Structure 1
Amino acid sequence: MSKENTQFAILGLLTIGCQTGYSIKQTMDGSLNHFWKISYGQIYPTLKNLVDSGYASVQDTSQEGKPDKKEYHITAKGKAALKEWLQDPILDVATDKNELLLKLFFSRHQDSAQTMELLDSYKEKLTIRHGTFQAISNRINENCTQDADAPYWLMTLDYGLCTTKAAIDWCEKTKIKLQSKER
């Protein structure tokens, strides 16, 4: 995962009202996690770098009975950098690591029943993921219709829904191929 792209993911989150490391992580886990993952260990150093680069500003906000909270805001320079990055062409198609595919590649070395179990388990997880994406889509459609970002959020969710559905279908077809190979 590109460190530079993570910087732009965080700049983008600053534009939608995420102003603390905690809110960035919460939004990341609830919305972007199906295509971009960031740990707390990445968030805070990246925020510091964004401030040091002039892409973000930081303000300490006092809280009653708690330590001060750091709130981050995107600067004009940060907005310009984000806009420039958004316009850059995509140079490569990402390659995902997929443990199931790796195991399937070498599955002639195990009983086909075990391979079937792997496919069933994977399909079950995909079905849960698909349901999660559908629930998020429903929430956005019900609660965020006035938000200017909502159509773009739905487009990324649609990608997740489509690719997850395709993977579920692939599991079924692969199981059929495995079964016919055994006959």
Structure 2
Amino acid sequence: MKINHTKFAILGLLTTGCHTGYSIKQMIDGSLNHFWKISYGQIYPTLKILVEEGLATVKETIQEGKPNKKEYRITNKGMEALQNWLRSPIEDIPFEKNEFILKLFFSRHEPETTAIVKLETYLERLQARYSTYSSIESMIVTSLSNEEDASYWLFTLDYGIRTTKAAMDWCRDTIQKLKEMGNAK
């Protein structure tokens, strides 16, 4: 049976002080989407399932002139399910689907200069990502260091920083090799 990891991601977010669909979306946009994609359209259906399964509760507050506000809380059963999921073994090491790498694989069919331009563009995007991660790291260290989850947020962020730096180094090396190939012809 395939595990619905999004369900556990949202259960986990309920433990971080995110209690509304909006606050969950904000947290996803600022953190999880860097390593786990959850679309806005998945949040409310998943919250509904969590409530139906008794893993979360919902309290609706009437607001004047606005839609009713729904606040979700993880239940003891939900916490137990989250902890069981956390303790379960990792299914497998994920592989990255990367359109750029796929195109590079077949780049023999284009001039080296075209591949180099693509690599330089990819490197620029990686540098922007690296800068974003560095900004998030500064924000956590300066503003959120008292949060119970801060150390774990920094651990996952460090993974992103290191893998992005490795990809940037790879781009530079590959650009250099392609330039050498072009000069050898």
Task: Pick the TM interval, shorter chain.
Answer: over 0.9
Q: Superposed, which structure 2 residues align to 1:128-167 within 5 Å?
A: 128-167=128-167
Q: Is residue 62–residue 68 contact of structure 1 (8 Å, CA) maintained in 2?
A: yes
CA distance in 1, matches of 2:166, 2:52: 43
User: Where does structure 2 lack aligned partners over 5 or more consecutive residues?
Assistant: none
Q: How much does 1:24 deviate?
A: 0.8
Deviation at 1:151, TM superposition (A): 0.3
CA–CA distance in structure 2, aligned partners of residues 48 and 148 of structure 1: 27
Q: CA RMSD in A?
A: 1.0
Amino acid at match of 1:31: S
2:171 paired residue number: 171
Note the alpha carbon deviations across 1:94-137, whole angstroms, 9 max, x for none: 11110110010000111111101100000000000000000000
Give 4+ residue runs of structure 1 displaced > 2 Å after superposition. none
Matched position secondary structure for 1:63:
coil
Counterpart for residue 105 of structure 1 = 105
- Measured after TM superposition, the shift of residue 91 of structure 1 is 2.2
How far 1:3 sits from its partner (Å)? Answer: 6.2
% identity of equivalent residues: 57
Distance 1:78 1:49 in 2: 12
CA contact (8 A) 1:51 1:58 kept: yes
Task: Quote the residue 2:88 is aligned against.
Answer: 88
Distance in 1 (CA, whole Å) between partners of 2:36 and 2:162 is 17
Q: 1:46 to 1:12 in 2, by over 3 A?
A: same
Contact 1:20–1:70, Cα closer than 8 Å, also in 2 = yes
TM-aligned CA deviation for residue 64 of structure 1: 2.6
Residue aligning to 1:52: 52
TM-score (norm 2): 0.96
Partner SS, residue 19 of structure 2? coil
Specify the code of the residue in structure 2 equivalent to 1:67: P
Name stretches of at least 5 consecutive residues in structure 1 with no aligned partner. Answer: none
